Structures are given as C-alpha cells and as structure tokens.
C-alpha cells in the first residue's frame, strides 16, 4: 500500500466510523446467523497478490458487519458496556501509528511518563491517590494482585509450593469468575478458592467470611487473599468494602477490590459512597474500557505498595537493563506481559477531549435512564423488578423462569434490542445494562416499545 492509497482508505474508514457512531448499524444489533456461516464466505487460503482497498471495504460491509454483535450500537444492553468514542479511537490510531513497544521507560519515555500521569489524574478523580498502571483487562489485573499477595506470604517464585501451607482466597458467590482462573494460573487450585455466600441484596455475608477464615486457619491453611466487588457481574451488587477491609486487616490478608464496571461511577461526587473503605485495601481496579468511553482494552489498576507487585513480577535479564533503570519506572515489572501497547494515549485523549465534567454528564444520563427504566418495569403488569438498581443494571423477570427466558429470546429476535440473562437465587433474570456512549432518552423509548411489543405478542 503506497502513501496515497493509505490516505484515501484512511479517510474512508474514518468517515465510516463517524457515520457508525452517529447512526449505529442499519441492520439487527445481534446477527441472526449460525456458527460457521461467516467463515464459509472466506477463501480457503490467503491471497497471493494484493487486493484492492475498495474490495476489502466492500467485503467488510457485506461479510463482517452482518456477522457482528454490535456492542456500540445504542440498542445493545447485554453483558456490560464496552464503549468506544471518537477521542479514544483517535488516541488509539495515533498509538498504532507510532507503533512503539512501551515495555520500559527506555523503549518509550513518553509512553511511560504519560501513563504515570494519566493514572495519577484518574486516581485523583475517584479519590484514590495510589500509584497505578494500565493493564489490558480486569482478569489480568486480579491475576497481578493475586501474585503480589502470594509472594507477600510465600516465596513461590523461588521455591514453589511443595512444602508450604495451602494458600486460600475468598470472594463472594456473585463475584466474577476471573479470580478462579487466576487461582488456577497461580498454581493454587480450585480446592482453595472459597465462594462466600451472599445476603438478600447479593452482597458478601461477612459473618460467613470470618467463619470460613477461622475454619481454614484451624485446618492449617493460610488465608492470603480476599476479593471484594463493587458492582457484581449479575446484578451490580456492592460488597461491604469497609467491613471487609477491617476483617482483612485483622487477619493480615491482602484485600483486592474489583470495580471493573462500576468504578467509573465514582467520578461523580454523589456516587463517592462506592469508594468507602477502598483506601484501606491493598489493590483496586476498574475498566475505563467499560463505561468511560475508552476503547477496549484499558484496565486502570491501582496498588498501595507497588514494591509488592514488582517483587512478584520483576525479572531483569541483561538484555533489558539500561542506565536509567534506577531512576524510572519500567512497567514491564508491573504486569504479566513484557511487550506493552501505548494505551495511555487513548486515555489521555478521552480525559482531555471530554474533560471530567463531560464524562460525568454522560454517566449521570445513564444513571437517570436506569432509574427511569426500573420505574417503567415496575409499572408493567406481569413484570417484576429484581431488587433496586444501585448503579446502571436493571434485572427483571416474569415470575416463571421459562416464560422469562422466552421473553428475552423474543426481544433479541427482533434485532431491535440485545440483552443477556443471569440466574440469581434460582430466578432467571433478564439483565438490561445501560452505559452506551450513544444511548439517549430516544433510544430508551425504543427499548420500552420493543419490550412492550414482545409482551403484547406473547
């Protein structure tokens, strides 16, 4: 591709993205396709000769778009937001244009120092002025926290775990599955992962937590890690963070707080209650790529004592050493990967082109839409609201599980909305997750009309 072709195709792609952000996709938000349908349209081998940009874009529109679940269409209410925005896309574009490997200060001083600064900005904005680093996802973040906690009580990196007491981790039965995967990757095993039962509001039962810890100590085990959640995956429930932090302190256990989705809401002064007790934890994360309009992937990971993280993850082969090492941060020592993208650039663009107040304005809109929709659900005959939404997710049902499942399938089949489910306390629930960058009161009205139409047709 020559420079002129690059410019021409680049302009076309930017124009297409701008239209997509403004109008969404003109087909169904979720593709009504069967597994293998898209792959069947692709050649069996890569092309031997260059193909034209026009043909590639035509194939993108005819093959890729109809086989894509459109996460950034305002009709998407499934799982959780995974937002893009103009500022984030442009920041990522520049980062890709530079094409640096930001594994250390020496390999790209600007990437390291910008990351330090934007993480400081972000921490200050949510009331947590700890050092921070950008991980790719919350799954990596919790794994890093777990490794730091492991190495703070047992020198597993050097000695393995052949003669040590079993290390035990605790989280609620509503927490994300990433901690279980982290336990497996850390060599600690499912057997020593404790899922603490939850109360009626799906928050961790701290009385049971204490009892579990005492039982493990009595059995000769070493409790070493607790993960509390601000905004659980199913219902965005909030664990009693302050109370858990006091328990962790009493038993000398590492306390990590996962606010992957909900942490963005802490930018609002009226939502600062979400952060109560976090300053007494050891590590904390949230994902700007979920609800802060920063394109995937971008996890903001904060740690009270970075030395513990570096102790767990730092390796210093001769070929990576530089004269500056003693005076700078090398973020390869803060994460799993050696190679690192210039993720700070897109976060910098988002923070500067929106401004904190611009981000807050959109979050307030989403919270208001959430409450409005919850009231609408309560007013509909036959629909039942499950709990009171505290953040941006509304769960509802019809009472009987099969009927609820059938309703969700009818809604999704329209192509005019996409939502996902969960099961809590034996109840099948439809989840409606707000937070789309392009969501509005108009799109909320369309959602209500779609649901009402499916109810009437059922």
Q: Which residue, among 175, 148, 113, has the nearest Cα to 335 in the 3D structure?
A: 148
Mean pLDDT of 50-78: 94
Quote the percentage of the chain above a pLDDT of 70.
100
pLDDT digits (tens, 9 = 90+) for 369-403: 999 999 999 999 999 999 999 999 999 999 999 99
Q: Answer yes or no: are the C-beta atoms of 402 and 430 closer than 8 Å.
A: no
Q: Is the pLDDT of residue 158 over 90?
A: no
Q: Is the pLDDT of residue 164 over 90?
A: no
What pLDDT is attached to residue 161?
Answer: 76
Q: CB under 8 Å, gap of 24 or more: what pairs does 335-338 form?
A: 335/133, 335/135, 335/140, 335/144, 336/140, 336/143, 336/144, 337/103, 337/136, 338/103
What pLDDT is attached to residue 137?
Answer: 94
List, in order of start, the domains of the chain with CATH numbers.
3-76 (1.20.1340.10), 100-341 (3.40.640.10), 358-457 (3.90.1150.10)
Do the bridges between strand 254-258 and strand 283-286 make them parallel or antiparallel, or are there none, so unpaired? parallel
- What φ, ψ does residue 192 adopt, rounded to 5°? -110, 25
What tokens appear for 151 in the block? 């190495």
The dihedral region occupied by 25, where left means phi > 0, alpha psi between -120 and 50, and beta the remainder, is beta
Rounded distance, CA 186 to CA 177, Å? Answer: 15
What pLDDT is attached to residue 275?
Answer: 96
Q: Answer yes or no: are the C-beta atoms of 75 and 443 closer than 8 Å.
A: yes
Rounded distance, CA 401 to CA 399, Å? Answer: 6
Q: b/e for 308-346, b at 16 or more Cβ within 10 A? A: bbbbbbeeeeeebeeeeeeeebbbbbbbeeeebbbbbbb
pLDDT digits (tens, 9 = 90+) for 120-151: 999 999 999 999 999 999 999 999 999 999 99
Half-sphere exposure of 211 (CA within 13 A, CB side): 8
pLDDT band per the 50, 70, 90 thresholds, residue 234: very high
Do the bridges between strand 193-196 and strand 420-424 make them parallel or antiparallel, or are there none, so unpaired? unpaired
Q: Which residue, among 444, 425, 30, has the nearest Cα to 234 in the 3D structure?
A: 425
Contacts of 254 (CB under 8 A, 6+ apart): 145, 148, 149, 152, 224, 225, 226, 248, 282, 283
Rounded distance, CA 228 to CA 284, Å? Answer: 10
Q: Is the pLDDT of residue 410 over 80?
A: yes
Q: What is the mean pLDDT of the chain?
A: 95
Q: Answer yes or no: are the C-beta atoms of 299 and 138 closer than 8 Å.
A: yes
Q: Answer yes or no: are the C-beta atoms of 331 and 104 closer than 8 Å.
A: yes
pTM value is: 0.94
Mean pLDDT of 215-227: 97
Radius of gyration (Cα) for the chain, nearest Å? Answer: 24
Do the bridges between strand 384-385 and strand 299-303 make them parallel or antiparallel, or are there none, so unpaired? unpaired
Rounded distance, CA 130 to CA 391, Å? Answer: 24
Contacts of 214 (CB under 8 A, 6+ apart): none
pLDDT band per the 50, 70, 90 thresholds, residue 155: confident
Rounded distance, CA 245 to CA 66, Å? Answer: 47
Q: Is the pLDDT of residue 447 over 90?
A: yes
What pLDDT is attached to residue 59?
Answer: 96
Do the bridges between strand 393-397 and strand 427-433 make them parallel or antiparallel, or are there none, so unpaired? antiparallel
How many residues in the chain? Answer: 458
What pLDDT is attached to residue 253?
Answer: 98
Quote the percentage of the chain above a pLDDT of 90.
93
Q: Answer yes or no: are the C-beta atoms of 398 and 421 closer than 8 Å.
A: no
Mean pLDDT of 226-247: 97
CA dihedral 178, 132, 287, 100 (to 10 degrees): -100
Cα–Cα distance list, 257 to 79, 81, 263 (Å): 20, 20, 10
What pLDDT is attached to residue 163?
Answer: 76
């Amino acid at each position: 591709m020559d420079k002129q072709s690059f410019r021409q195709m680049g302009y076309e792609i930017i124009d297409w993205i701008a239209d997509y952000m403004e109008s969404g996709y003109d087909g169904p938000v979720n593709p009504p396709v069967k597994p293998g349908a898209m792959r069947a349209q692709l050649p069996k081998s890569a092309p031997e000769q260059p193909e034209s940009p026009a043909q590639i874009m035509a194939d993108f529109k005819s093959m890729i778009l109809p086989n894509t679940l459109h996460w950034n269409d305002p009709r998407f209410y499934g799982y959780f937001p995974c937002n893009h925005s103009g500022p984030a896309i442009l920041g990522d574009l520049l980062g890709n244009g530079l094409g640096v490997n930001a594994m250390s200060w020496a390999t790209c001083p600007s990437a390291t120092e910008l990351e330090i600064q934007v993480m400081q900005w972000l921490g200050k904005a949510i009331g947590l002025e700890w050092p921070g680093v950008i991980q790719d996802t919350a799954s990596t973040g919790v794994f890093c926290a777990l490794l730091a906690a492991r190495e703070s009580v047992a020198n597993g990196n050097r000695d393995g775990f052949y003669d040590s007491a079993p290390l035990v981790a605790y989280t609620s039965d509503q927490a994300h599955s990433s901690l279980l995967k982290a336990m497996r990757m850390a060599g600690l095993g499912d057997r020593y992962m404790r899922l603490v039962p939850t109360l009626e509001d799906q928050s961790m039962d701290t009385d049971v937590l204490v009892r579990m810890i005492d039982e493990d100590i009595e059995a000769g085990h070493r409790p070493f890690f607790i993960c509390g959640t601000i905004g659980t995956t199913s219902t965005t429930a909030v664990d009693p963070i302050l109370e858990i932090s006091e328990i962790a302190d009493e038993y000398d256990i590492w306390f990590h707080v996962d606010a992957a989705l909900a942490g963005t809401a802490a930018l609002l002064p009226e939502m600062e209650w979400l952060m109560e007790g976090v300053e007494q934890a050891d590590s904390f994360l949230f994902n700007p790529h979920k609800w802060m309009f920063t394109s995937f992937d971008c996890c903001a990971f904060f740690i009270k004592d970075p030395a513990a993280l570096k102790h767990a993850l730092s390796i210093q082969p001769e070929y990576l050493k530089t004269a500056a090492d003693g005076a700078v941060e090398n973020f390869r020592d803060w994460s799993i990967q050696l190679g690192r993208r210039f993720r700070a650039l897109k976060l910098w663009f988002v923070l500067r082109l929106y401004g904190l107040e611009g981000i807050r304005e959109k979050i307030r809109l989403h919270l208001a839409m959430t409450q409005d929709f919850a009231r609408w659900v309560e007013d509909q005959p036959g629909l039942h609201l499950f709990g009171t939404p505290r953040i941006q997710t509304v769960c509802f049902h019809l009472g009987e599980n099969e009927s609820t499942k059938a309703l969700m399938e009818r809604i999704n089949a329209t192509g005019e909305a996409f939502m996902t489910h969960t099961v809590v306390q034996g109840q099948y629930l439809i989840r409606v997750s707000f937070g789309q960058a392009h969501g509005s009161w108009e799109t909320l009205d369309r959602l209500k009309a779609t649901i009402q139409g499916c109810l009437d047709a059922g």
